[in-house]
């Protein structure tokens, strides 16, 4: 009899849930945040039955309660390449390239995430994964020291490596191996109070950039935050202080909209946690924090250009109320109704024939007037959810956890090629994924060939 392997979607769901349980133990405030987000989401669904119906109709309600992303940072190409193999087993591909050096953060990144429609609905867990750019350390001696420390560590357990090989040989895991794999893979992301360096080395690396110390000095690449998805980020941000959590000042991303765009995010400051050095001295390290996000429509290249342009124009304000007002004013140039977003080609949509439409099959052909079909109640179009990240927002999140402007010192050129060489594969273009998804939905409706 043939073996029945555990599905990649199930592996990912189990892994995400194990990671969430571990992080709740490690950082109790994350558990508090989860409860608050769930409470606000329930309020929103009660208050907005139309939204609830839309989420239900597109089969997205189910994923809401388990939806989160995390972030990790690694130090070497070999670590990144191994992560790629581990996440591939869980049905996660590297999507997108983010250069954060422009914003003063010495890393470049991708997001490992599921790409298929079904996979996203089953469990959309994603990990924002950054590779440290040691070439941006200008002190050659210190750079060599960091390289040597990284070369001497293995952030994966021997059993994890064995299981990855086994998966490659046999093409899957049975139930027992799956459980084993999740437990072993989780070890890589655990927090360690014991560092792998003496206090002098830690301080020297930290002075160069705090992120460098975070990546280089530990035995693993600890998960540094997990982010639940909320339906009303302004409300959660306002309620955070009531549950003892101080949010960062500014909500990153676009302003509040009738048709939510892309991604809005806010975080709470990293905890100052005790650590021990190899010379037995004690100190503290700040790396781990919490974040929430609200997801909206994925934008086309044209829409994204407009978004980037308006975001730059709006600039930054130090308090959120002023910042949101300023954003709202500047973003009045961005259409805020689904029809204009469609007809101007600013956002991606998923198209679906209605019951009524099914009775008029002749009306559906590539030259048909889609907006007219919508008006006649024969067709509906739902914005496709943005599943990725935003480099400017990500830089804001990084920075709020690094403190001091003196840390803004990286200045490398974007180097997607170098990143892909380290990763051992190309990254998938997020734009082509959204375009494909819209195109497939049009084809299913008979509106495209």
Look up tokens 């972030």; give the residue: 71
Nearer to Ni ion among residue 227 and residue 350 (C-beta):
227
Determine contact, residues 27/271, Cβ cutoff 8 Å: yes
Does 73 bind ligand OOG (CB under 6 A)? Our answer is: yes
Phi/psi for 215 (5° steps) reads -80, -40
Closest CA relative to residue 384, chosen from 354, 341, 344: 341
Selected binder of ligand OOG within 394, 427, 442, 445 (CB under 6 A): 394
If binding means CB under 6 A, how many residues of this protein chain bind ligand OOG? 12
Q: How far is the CB of 397 from Ni ion (least distance, A)?
A: 6
Position among 112, 268, 348, 389 found at the interface with ligand OOG (CB under 6 A): 389
Pattern 329-348, ligand OOG, x by CB under 6 A: --------------------
- Pick the closer one to Ni ion by CB: 229 or 370: 229
Residues whose CB is less than 8 angstroms from the CB of residue 423 and which lie 6 or more positions away in sequence, other chains included: 77, 80, 81, 84, 94, 110
Which 149-208 positions form the footprint of ligand OOG (CB under 6 A)? none
Q: Which is nearer to Ni ion, 255 or 396 (CB)?
A: 396
Least distance (Å) between residue 112 CB and ligand OOG = 13
Q: Which stretch binds ligand OOG (CB under 6 A): 166-174, 189-197, 343-351, 394-402?
A: 394-402
Site string for Ni ion, 263-292 (x = CB under 5 A): ----------------------------x-
Name the segment binding ligand OOG (CB under 6 A); options: 19-27, 47-55, 278-286, 386-394.
Answer: 386-394
User: Binding partner of residue 224 among Ni ion, ligand OOG, none, CB under 5 to 8 Å per kind?
Assistant: ligand OOG
* Cβ neighbours of 418 (radius 10 Å): 16
Q: How far apart are CA 213 and CA 261, in angstroms?
A: 35
Cβ-contact 174, 10 below 8 angstroms: no
Strand ranges, E, within 172-271: 225-228, 263-268
- Within residues 62-121, the interface with Ni ion by CB under 5 A covers 71
Q: Is 29 in the site for ligand OOG (CB under 6 A)?
A: no
Query: Would you state the structure tokens that stand for residue 414, as one six-digit string?
Result: 């974007």
- Nearest C-alpha neighbor of 384 from the set 308, 301, 447, 299: 299
Least Cα distance to 386 among 430, 345, 342, 427 occurs for 430
224 binds ligand OOG (CB under 6 A): yes
CB of 289 to Ni ion, least distance (A): 9
Checking DSSP bridges between strand 126-132 and strand 68-74, what pairing results, if any?
Answer: parallel
* Contact of 307 with 299, CB cutoff 8 Å: yes
The residue count of the chain comes to 449
> Which of 128, 173, 351, 386 lies at the binding interface for ligand OOG (CB under 6 A)?
128
Q: How far apart are CA 127 and CA 441, in angstroms?
A: 27
Report the nearest approach of ligand OOG to the CB of residue 67 (Å).
13
In the complex, the residues that contact ligand OOG under the rule CB under 6 A are: 71, 73, 128, 130, 224, 265, 291, 389, 393-394, 397-398
In the complex, the residues that contact Ni ion under the rule CB under 5 A are: 71, 227, 291
């Amino acid at each position: 009899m043939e073996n029945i392997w555990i599905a990649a979607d199930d592996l990912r769901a189990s892994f995400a849930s194990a990671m969430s349980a571990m992080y709740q133990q490690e950082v109790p405030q994350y558990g508090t945040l989860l409860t608050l987000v769930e409470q606000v989401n329930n309020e929103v669904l009660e208050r907005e039955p139309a939204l609830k119906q839309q989420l239900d109709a597109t089969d997205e309600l189910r994923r809401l309660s388990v939806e989160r992303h995390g972030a990790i940072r690694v130090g070497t190409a070999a670590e990144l390449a191994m992560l790629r193999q581990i996440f591939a087993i869980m049905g996660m591909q590297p999507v997108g390239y983010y250069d954060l050096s422009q914003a003063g953060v010495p890393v470049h990144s991708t997001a490992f995430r599921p790409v298929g429609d079904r996979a996203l609905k089953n469990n959309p867990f994603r990990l924002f994964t950054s590779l440290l750019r040691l070439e941006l350390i200008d002190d050659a001696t210190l750079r060599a020291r960091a390289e040597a420390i990284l070369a001497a560590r293995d952030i994966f357990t021997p059993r994890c490596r064995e299981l990855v090989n086994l998966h490659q040989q046999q093409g899957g895991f049975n139930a027992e191996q799956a459980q084993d794999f999740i437990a072993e893979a989780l070890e890589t992301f655990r927090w360690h109070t014991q560092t792998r360096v003496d206090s002098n080395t830690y301080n020297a690396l930290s002075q160069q950039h705090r992120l460098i110390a975070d990546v280089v000095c530990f035995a693993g690449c600890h998960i540094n935050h997990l982010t639940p998805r909320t339906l009303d980020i302004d409300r959660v941000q306002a309620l955070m202080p009531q549950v003892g959590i101080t949010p960062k000042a500014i909500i990153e991303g676009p302003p509040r909209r009738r048709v939510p765009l892309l991604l809005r995010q806010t975080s709470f400051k990293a905890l100052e946690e005790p650590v021990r050095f190899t010379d037995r001295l004690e100190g503290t390290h700040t790396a781990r924090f919490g974040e929430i996000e609200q997801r909206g429509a994925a934008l086309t290249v044209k829409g994204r250009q407009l978004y980037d342009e308006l975001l730059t124009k709006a600039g930054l304000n130090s308090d959120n109320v002023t910042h949101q007002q300023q954003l709202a004013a500047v973003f009045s140039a961005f259409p805020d109704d689904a029809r204009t977003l469609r007809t101007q080609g600013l956002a991606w949509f998923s198209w679906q024939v209605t019951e009524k439409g099914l009775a008029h099959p002749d009306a559906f052909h590539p030259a048909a007037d889609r907006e007219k079909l919508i008006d006649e109640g024969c067709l509906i179009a739902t914005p496709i959810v943005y599943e990725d990240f935003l480099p400017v927002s990500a830089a804001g999140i990084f920075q709020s956890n690094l403190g001091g402007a003196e840390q803004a010192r990286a200045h490398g050129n974007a180097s997607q090629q170098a990143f892909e060489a380290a990763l051992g594969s190309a990254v998938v273009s997020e734009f082509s994924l959204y375009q494909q998804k819209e195109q497939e939905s049009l084809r299913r409706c008979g509106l495209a060939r």
